[in-house]
Amino acid sequence: MVARVAAHAKLNLSLRITGRTENGYHALHTLFQLVALSDSVTVRVGVHGRALDCDAPAAGPAEHNLGWRAAVAFCEATGWDTGFEIAIEKHIPIGGGMGGGSADAAAVLRAL
pLDDT at 59: 81
Q: Is residue 14 in some structural domain?
A: no
Query: Domain range spanning residue 60?
Result: 2-9+36-111
Q: Is residue 20 in some structural domain?
A: no
CA–CA separation, 96 and 51 (whole Å): 25
pLDDT at 50: 96
pLDDT at 58: 82
Q: Is residue 71 in some structural domain?
A: yes
Q: Is residue 48 in some structural domain?
A: yes
Q: Is residue 45 in some structural domain?
A: yes
Q: Is residue 24 in some structural domain?
A: no
CA–CA separation, 76 and 53 (whole Å): 21
Q: If the chain, 112 residues long, is cut into consecutive pieces of 10 residues, what is the mean pLDDT of each piece? A: 97 94 94 95 96 89 94 96 96 92 97 96
pLDDT at 60: 82
What's the number of domains the chain is made of?
Answer: 1
